[in-house]
Structure 1
Amino acid sequence: MKPRAGVGLTTIMVVLTVTTGVIEAVSFLVLGPVFTAVQTGNLLFLSFALTGAAGLSPAAAGVSFAGFTIGAVLGSRFESIVDARGRRWFPPALIGEALLLGLGGVVAWRTGLDAPGASADGPHYAVVALVAGAMGVRNVTTLRVRVADLPTTVSTRALTALLGGLPLLSDTRIGSGATNEGRRLASVGAMFTGGLLGAWLLHEEVRPAAVLLVPAVLVLLLGTTFWAGPGPRTSEPG
């Protein structure tokens, strides 16, 4: 059973996009430079690092890619099994993602790898893998939900569609209208806001592990709240 399209689901996707910005702030500014959600950028980091580019770690990029892949595979399998049984897979998928993010934050906190001058070692890569795994689950979940212009982990396509749908351009092959433009603007704005929030918290010397726990708590709340909602009015087959 997939969630029914509507304002509620759109709002959830916007909030998830904000959390992506926060997560990538921690990933890039503390754990990396590496991306855990935006695997396009991470694959480029990996290719650059393999040529010996300064300041890039092929190990971190490789661990992120592997963690993302495992998360996507396991998430897809889990959601397909739950769906085949006629149950709602969206809330437990969000909760599973939140638990992985939370575990990553706890590992970072307990091992002190987010302290100034901490070296990249086993715990460091464990956090990268856990966060990337959570983002792998996230991408499968949002792909199955299929809310137009709100993939939650990238905004390039939404930005392109937003620009193409402007009145002066009015590309007829790109859907226009207040609803479409609103979602696209929300996608771009949410990603920027999340990145700004994450970077600001780090700039204010909030421990990175604590910053990472912010999106974990938000996603957990979204999942539990949605799960507590009445199934017949919030879900449909598929």
Structure 2
Amino acid sequence: MKPKAGVGLTSAMVVLTLTTGMIEAVSFLVLGPTFTAVQTGNLLFLAFALIGAAELSPAAAGVSLAGFVVGAVAGSLFEAYVDIHGRRWFVPGLTTEALLLGCGGLVAWRISADEPGGPVTGHHLLVIALVAAAMGVRNVTTMRVQVPDVPTTVSTRPLTALLGGLVPAADRRIGSGPRVEGRRFVSVGAMFAGGLLGAWLLHEAVRPAVLLLVPAASALVLGVVFWAMPRRRTWEPD
């Protein structure tokens, strides 16, 4: 069973998008530089690093990609198993993501990786792997939910749709209208706001672990909220 489309589900996806920006601030500015959610950028980082691009770590990019793959595959199998048994897979998906992010935050708390630009150590790679695995699970969850224009880990498609929808002669398949355009704007804005907030908090000497534990807590709270919702009114068969 999956949650029904509506304001509540869309709002949850926007919150997750905001936390993606915070997570990537830690991944790029402290742990890598690498990405753990935006794997398009990470694939390019890996390609650049393999030919010796300065300041890029092939180990960080490779571990991030591997962690993401493991998380996506495991998340797909797990959520499909829960779904087959007629249960609500959305909540376990969020809970799994929260646990992985929480583990990453706890490991980060124990390492001295509070300053950007430090060397990438084995502890850094462990945090990267855990966070990337969490983002792999998140991508599976959000793809299964299918909230239009709010993929939570990328902004290229909603930004393109936002701009395309503003053109008077736009293809109807893009869709337009105040509600649709508003959702796209909020999706793009949430990603930017999350990155801005994450970078600012790091600049203000907030520990990177805190920036990972906040998204973990957010995913866990969202899971609890959706678990507590009445089944008949808020859930529907896949």
TM-score tier after normalising by the smaller chain length:
over 0.9
CA distance, structure 2, for counterparts of residue 139 and residue 221 of structure 1: 18
Report the counterpart of residue 143 of structure 1 in structure 2. Answer: 143
Matches within 5 A, 1:52-201: 52-114=52-114, 118-201=118-201
Give the CA deviation at 1:170. 3.2
CA offset digits 1:99-158 (Å, max 9, x no partner)? 100100000112333357753222110000000000000000000000110000001010
Q: Is the 8 A contact 2:198 2:211 kept in 1?
A: yes
Residue range with higher mean Cα deviation, 115-124 or 67-76: 115-124
Change (3 A) 1:42 1:204: same
Q: Is the 8 A contact 1:63 1:125 kept in 2?
A: yes
2:11 partner amino acid: T
Task: List gaps (5 residues or longer) in structure 1.
Answer: none
Report the counterpart of residue 20 of structure 1 in structure 2. Answer: 20
Report the counterpart of residue 38 of structure 2 in structure 1. Answer: 38
Report the counterpart of residue 207 of structure 2 in structure 1. Answer: 207
CA offset digits 1:12-42 (Å, max 9, x no partner)? 0000000000000000000111000000000
The answer on 1:11 being equivalent to 2:11 is: yes
Give the CA deviation at 1:230. 1.3
Q: Is the 8 A contact 1:112 1:118 kept in 2?
A: no
Give the CA deviation at 1:184. 0.6
Q: Is the 8 A contact 2:30 2:115 kept in 1?
A: no
Q: Is the 8 A contact 2:30 2:117 kept in 1?
A: no
CA distance, structure 1, for counterparts of residue 159 and residue 119 of structure 2: 37
Report the counterpart of residue 231 of structure 2 in structure 1. Answer: 231
Report the counterpart of residue 219 of structure 2 in structure 1. Answer: 219
**SS in structure 1 of the partner of residue 110 of structure 2:** helix
1:85 partner amino acid: H
CA distance, structure 2, for counterparts of residue 185 and residue 117 of structure 1: 32
CA distance, structure 2, for counterparts of residue 105 and residue 176 of structure 1: 40
**SS in structure 1 of the partner of residue 172 of structure 2:** coil
Change (3 A) 1:181 1:106: same
**SS in structure 1 of the partner of residue 173 of structure 2:** coil
Q: How many residues align?
A: 238
Task: List gaps (5 residues or longer) in structure 2.
Answer: none
Change (3 A) 1:158 1:145: same
CA distance, structure 1, for counterparts of residue 169 and residue 196 of structure 2: 30
TM-score (norm 1): 0.97
Change (3 A) 1:205 1:49: same
Residue range with higher mean Cα deviation, 59-68 or 179-188: 179-188
CA distance, structure 2, for counterparts of residue 149 and residue 52 of structure 1: 36
Give the CA deviation at 1:232. 1.5
Root-mean-square deviation over aligned CA pairs: 1.3
CA offset digits 1:61-88 (Å, max 9, x no partner)? 0000000000000000000000000000
**SS in structure 2 of the partner of residue 86 of structure 1:** coil
CA distance, structure 2, for counterparts of residue 115 and residue 13 of structure 1: 30
Change (3 A) 1:116 1:35: closer
Give the CA deviation at 1:180. 1.3
Residue range with higher mean Cα deviation, 146-155 or 176-185: 176-185
Give the CA deviation at 1:173. 3.1
**SS in structure 2 of the partner of residue 48 of structure 1:** helix
